[in-house]
Amino acid sequence: VEAASIARAAGHAKRRIGDRIGDQALHWITAAAAFGSIALLIGIAYKVIDQARPAWDKFGFAFIWHQAWNPNTEVFGALDFIYGTAVSSFVALLFAAPISIAIALYLSELAPSGVKGIVGALVETLAAVPSVVIGLWGILVLGPVVEHQLEPALGSVLGWLPLFQGQHGVQGMLPAIIVLTIMIVPITSSISRELFTTVPRDLKEGAYGLGLTRWEMVRGVVLPYTRGGVIAATLLGMGRAVGEAIAVTQVIGAATGIHISFFKPADTLASRIANQYQGASSGLQVASLVYLAAILLVFALVTNIIAQVIVSRFEVQRA
């Protein structure tokens, strides 16, 4: 009896020690993984900036406003691509933001419950279509339509604007804008929809009780209540547009130079990196590509952190 209880006590002690080690081990292993993610983020920033150093040493900040991409003379600058990125993303956002908000309002305020689930699922499925497939469709289906129908139509109606002048083509800024719009809408609309469903019911019913129409209720209650969040959702959509490499590469035409016309080929930061993947031979050209990536990274970090701050403040306000 004595021996058995001693053995049991020893077993307990052993188990207690095992548990103490187990608790500590789980704590530290998970902590290592968690802080590893912070290290990963810092590592990405450090490595990308470090690898761009040869281009940084040669061109400095002037790289950003220098307009050149010439592997033969080894002169590189980012201005063409910054312009292409800014124009394509901004114009795409101009279309995508109102469309996304409209879809979100339809799904949260208007749609009958049976339709709501189906349309919502379909819009989210659009987000899951890989960008390379959107790009394939963009170059082989959308491109010819743009060249033979859309651009002649725009040219005949709005041809007095320099934006819609020049030769029509399969590839160019216009299909890039359309493709980016298609890619922003599912993201921005699904975030906005979630925001709209957080508007308290009593506020909405109060507005209806005062005799407001649905649109007046939306304008007076839903939109003011969610304004910050909608701005953040738009920022996240813009982040997607700015960083999109593949689909844009397939449709934009990979041309240097700054052209006002949407019919002309152009290039963005991300698509320039993507379409140079095979040709990059010299160290300076690679470093310049990485410099472009560093600009993209800084932009992505800034917009993301701003969006996060807005969203988190929004959550605090709601709580």
Partner 1 sequence: MSSMLAASGNVRRRKRKNRTMEALWTFASMLAVAVLVIVVLSVLLKGISALNLDFFTKTQAPFGESGGGIAHALIGTLVLVLIATAMALPVGILIAIYVSEFARPSVARVLRVTLDVINGIPSIVIGIFVFALLVIPYHHQSAFFGSVALAIIMLPLVSRAAQEVLALVPNPLREGSLALGVSKWRTVLFVVLPTTISGILTGATLAVGRAAGETAPLLFTTSLYTNQVSWSPFHAMASIPLTIFTYSESPDPSQHAQAWAAAFVLISFILVTTLLARWLLSRSQRKLTR
Give residues 102-121 in contact with partner 1 (rule: CB under 8 A).
Answer: 102-103, 105-107, 109-111, 119, 121
The residues, ordered by sequence, that sit 6+ positions from 138 with a Cβ below 8 Å of its Cβ are 175, 178, 179, 247, 250, 251
CB of 160 to partner 1, least distance (A): 28
Interface residue with partner 1 among 19, 57, 74, 205 (CB under 8 A) is 19
Cα distance between residue 275 and residue 312, in whole Å: 37
Maximum alpha-carbon separation in the chain: 103
Cα distance between residue 34 and residue 259, in whole Å: 46
Interface residue with partner 1 among 126, 150, 203, 255 (CB under 8 A) is 126
Interface residue with partner 1 among 7, 86, 122, 210 (CB under 8 A) is 122
Interface residue with partner 1 among 305, 313, 317, 318 (CB under 8 A) is 305
Residues 193-222 that bind partner 1 (CB under 8 A): 213-216, 218
**8 Å CB contact between 189 and 123:** yes
Task: Select 70 or 308, whichever has its Cβ closest to partner 1.
Answer: 308
CB of 159 to partner 1, least distance (A): 26
Partnered with residue 69 across adjacent β-strands are 76
Residues 22-51 that bind partner 1 (CB under 8 A): 22-23, 25-27, 29-34, 36-38, 40-41, 43-44, 47-48, 50-51
64 binds partner 1 (CB under 8 A): no
Q: Is 257 left (phi over 0), alpha (psi -120 to 50) or beta?
A: left
86 binds partner 1 (CB under 8 A): no
Name the E strands within the chain.
69-70, 75-76
Render 17-28 in DSSP notation, one character per residue. HHHHHHHHHHHH
**8 Å CB contact between 196 and 103:** no
Contact flags string 243-272 toward partner 1, x per CB under 8 A? xxxx---x-------------------x--
Interface residue with partner 1 among 75, 79, 99, 150 (CB under 8 A) is 99
CB of 26 to partner 1, least distance (A): 4
Contact flags string 156-195 toward partner 1, x per CB under 8 A? --------------------------x--xx--x------
CB of 78 to partner 1, least distance (A): 14
User: Residues in the chain, how many?
Assistant: 319
The residues, ordered by sequence, that sit 6+ positions from 189 with a Cβ below 8 Å of its Cβ are 99, 100, 101, 103, 104, 107, 123
